[in-house]
């Protein structure tokens, strides 16, 4: 077997999650048969891991919108994929992901970036807060 | 030397099938794309601490266990506590030094600094065939793919250190 291209494209967690759930449901091109025990194992483990990540709550539309908003920040492909997969919530995390963030982004831009991330990737804590807020307002 | 292969993505090209003399099976050249787990250099990942030893901290991310953060890539200053068998970050504040222990099973954020690929295909039998062959565990523990991480930057290390 010969490797033609080691890295033809970068996939986000969301895309891999979609592919693996398809394989598990038997909807992919290769239905899992009784000889593919190892594939079943790794599919199961990887799905379990990805479900703990924010990609579980993402959708294709939210990701396309998210990418459009990120365009104004001039980030590299690797940085965009990391932000999508990790959903940073603090400025420290942004500094880790984006190289030379102090030189490339002003403080205002960093906060704007964090706001956009929260807008498109509500965490479960935010969703619970929203639900509680709705309950409070309906009880009034 | 590609990474951890996960699943087939698609097949891009199927060429003609051939049958070779002396072999009943048909052989086809197939071009396909595979989903591979391979973090790039300097990528930030989050995992769980698996175990600690003098060499450093071993981290796992569910699907992949062979991630090591060596002793010299810890936050400065850190020390290995023999009694607890855990690594600890000696954090200095105005009221003195605090030991932040890296407990097992804690979520930890690290940066990928190196990857090591080792060829583990079995080699032929040795010349000294007179000795009874014992299965030596130390030999067969080579992992084909190891990731080396670092937590020596602000924001890296246990998530509990940085989340207020």
ipTM of predicted assembly, 2 dp: 0.72
Q: Which residue of B has its CA nearest to A13?
A: B37
Q: Which of A19, A43, A97 has the CB atom closest to B9's CB atom?
A: A19
Instruction: Dig out the tokens for B77 from the structure.
Output: 């200053």
Q: Output the CA–CA distances (angstroms, integers) from residue B113 to B59, B110, B146, in the order listed.
A: 14, 9, 11
- At residue B136 the predicted structure's pLDDT band, cuts being 50, 70 and 90, is very low
Asked if residue A65 and residue A92 are part of one domain, the reply reads yes
Residue A101, in any domain of the structure: yes
Residue A107, in any domain of the structure: yes
pLDDT at A53: 80
pLDDT tens for A49-81 read 888 887 777 888 888 888 888 888 888 888 888
- Which residues are CB-contacts of A21 (< 8 A; sequence separation ≥ 6)? A47
In A, which residues are within 8 Å of B6 by CB distance? 16, 20, 42-43, 46
The verdict on A97 touching B (C-beta cutoff 8 Å) is: yes
Asked if residue A120 and residue A85 are part of one domain, the reply reads yes
The verdict on A70 touching B (C-beta cutoff 8 Å) is: no
Question: Model-level pTM?
Answer: 0.75
Asked if residue A37 and residue A67 are part of one domain, the reply reads no
In B, which residues are within 8 Å of A47 by CB distance? none
Domain count, chain A: 2
Asked if residue A80 and residue A114 are part of one domain, the reply reads yes
Asked if residue A118 and residue A73 are part of one domain, the reply reads yes
Element (H, E) at B34: strand B26-37
Residue A136, in any domain of the structure: no
Q: Which of A8, A46, A97 has the CB atom closest to B44's CB atom?
A: A97
Asked if residue A42 and residue A24 are part of one domain, the reply reads yes
Domain span at residue A111 reads 59-124
Asked if residue A107 and residue A78 are part of one domain, the reply reads yes
Length of chain A: 140
pLDDT tens for B18-31 read 888 888 888 888 88
């Amino acid at each position: 077997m010969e490797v033609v291209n080691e890295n033809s494209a970068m996939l986000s967690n969301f895309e891999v999650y979609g592919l693996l759930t398809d394989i598990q449901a038997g909807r992919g091109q290769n239905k899992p048969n009784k000889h593919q025990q190892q594939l079943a194992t790794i599919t199961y483990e990887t799905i379990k891991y990805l479900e703990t990540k924010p990609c579980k709550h993402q959708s294709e539309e939210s990701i396309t919108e998210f990418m459009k908003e990120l365009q104004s920040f001039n980030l590299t492909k690797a940085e965009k994929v990391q932000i999508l997969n990790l959903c940073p919530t603090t400025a420290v995390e942004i500094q880790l992901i984006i190289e030379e963030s102090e030189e490339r982004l002003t403080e205002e831009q960093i906060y704007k970036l964090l706001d956009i991330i929260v807008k498109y990737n509500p965490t479960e804590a935010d969703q619970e807060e929203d639900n509680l807020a709705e309950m409070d307002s309906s009880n009034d | 030397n590609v990474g951890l292969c996960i699943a087939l993505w698609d097949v891009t090209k199927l060429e003609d099938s051939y049958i070779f003399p002396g072999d009943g099976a048909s052989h086809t050249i197939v071009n396909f794309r595979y989903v591979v787990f391979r973090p790039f250099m300097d990528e930030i990942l989050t995992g769980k601490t698996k175990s600690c030893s003098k060499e450093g901290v071993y981290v796992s991310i569910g699907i992949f266990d062979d991630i090591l953060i060596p002793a010299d890539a810890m936050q400065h200053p850190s020390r290995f506590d023999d009694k607890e068998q855990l690594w600890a970050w000696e954090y200095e504040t105005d009221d003195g030094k605090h030991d932040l222990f890296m407990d097992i099973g804690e979520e930890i954020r690290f940066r990928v600094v190196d990857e090591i690929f080792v060829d583990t295909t079995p080699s032929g039998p040795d010349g000294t065939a007179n000795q009874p062959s014992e299965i030596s565990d130390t030999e067969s523990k080579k992992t084909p793919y190891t990731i080396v991480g670092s937590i020596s930057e602000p924001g890296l290390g246990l998530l509990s250190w940085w989340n207020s």
